[in-house]
Amino acid sequence: MDLSDYIDQVFECVTVEQLNAVLTETFGEIGAVALVGHALPFGGARTADRWSPIISTYPDAVNRAYKAQAAGDDPVMNAALALGAPVHFSKIARSLAWTDRTKRVFKAMSKAGINDAVSTPVFAKPGVYAYFAAGYPSIQTHFSEADLRRIKICFSEYFFRYRDLTRAHRQTLSKREREVLVAITNNKSNAEIASDLGVSEHTVETYVKRCFVKLDVSNRTEAVIKCYGVGLGRSAQS
């Protein structure tokens, strides 16, 4: 795997489709037959209902089993997140705590011809992280720690570029909505915000609701976390 060439290819991509093709081709060259990646938490809460992969080339049956049985309670993912580093499934599987639910998921993977995997968390910036895995048809006895780090780098660069390419499609906040969001991060009440901006509390409530919708959050705490986690804090103040 030529990391320099891979990174060049990643940043030459101008669409998510091109980016996915580069990732899939690169991992195919090292024997991976399936890839999956998803942002964490799952849309604001680690629940199966909101699990939606950034990319998945795993068979549909495996995706369905994972969503129904293990999303948010995946022992391999939890191990990788706890370590903050890539983990090699075949080397750690016996040390993990398996429930009947998660056992069924990994049986479904084996039935689909996926018998080993490398899983890793990646971090774009504080508060912005994701989890990726590459599946292999046979046990990868030759993988070294350096190989695992290369795999993490590949997923990390993919995730950075994915965010770059998709940021333009997010709903943007208006100037007034940004002002309200800054006030929220400063722990001001709607009444205080209304006084500062010279508008009614009802108007502030409308702006707050719009911010929640555009940030895909349900309360002020989540709005503050997402504001700074995805870098909106700086733009809100500009």
Q: Is 6 exposed, middle or buried (0-12, 13-18, 19+ CB in 10 A)?
A: buried
* Closest among 63, 65, 64, 70 to 47, alpha carbons compared: 70
> How sure is the predictor about 43, in pLDDT bands with cuts at 50, 70 and 90?
very low
Mean pLDDT of the chain: 86
How is the chain split among helix, strand and coil, in percent rounded to 5? Answer: 60, 15, 30
d(CA 64, CA 140): 25
The model carries a pTM of 0.70
Cβ proximity of 159 and 132 under 8 Å = yes
d(CA 129, CA 41): 8
Q: What are phi and psi of 61, to 5 degrees?
A: -65, -35
Exposure pattern of 200-230 as b/e (b: 16+ CB <10 Å)? Answer: eeebbeebbebbbebbebeebebbbbbbbbb
Structure tokens at 111: 């039935």
* Domain map (residue ranges) of the chain: 3-167, 175-236
The Cα-based distances of 230 to 98, 105, 119, 130, 227 in angstroms read: 33, 32, 23, 13, 6
- Residue whose pair of structure tokens reads 């489709």 in the numeric block: 17
- What CATH number matches the domain at 3-167, 3.90.226.10, 3.40.50.720, 3.30.460.80, 3.30.450.80? 3.30.450.80
- Tell me the per-residue pLDDT of 63-84, one tens digit each, with 9 for 90 and over: 988 888 877 778 999 899 888 8
- Tell me the per-residue pLDDT of 103-131, one tens digit each, with 9 for 90 and over: 999 999 999 999 999 999 998 876 678 99
The pLDDT of residue 39 is above 90: no
DSSP label at 117?
E
- Tell me the per-residue pLDDT of 157-212, one tens digit each, with 9 for 90 and over: 999 999 888 875 556 678 888 889 888 888 899 999 999 999 999 999 999 998 88
Give the model's pLDDT for residue 138: 96
Structure tokens at 13: 């991509």
The distance in angstroms from the start CA to the end CA of the chain is 41
Distance of CA 34 to the CA centre of its chain: 17
Architecture of domain 175-236: Orthogonal Bundle (1.10)
d(CA 135, CA 114): 6
Q: Do the domains at 3-167 and 175-236 have one common CATH topology?
A: no
* Closest among 39, 45, 63 to 162, alpha carbons compared: 39
Give the model's pLDDT for residue 238: 40
The pLDDT of residue 57 is above 80: yes
The pLDDT of residue 133 is above 50: yes
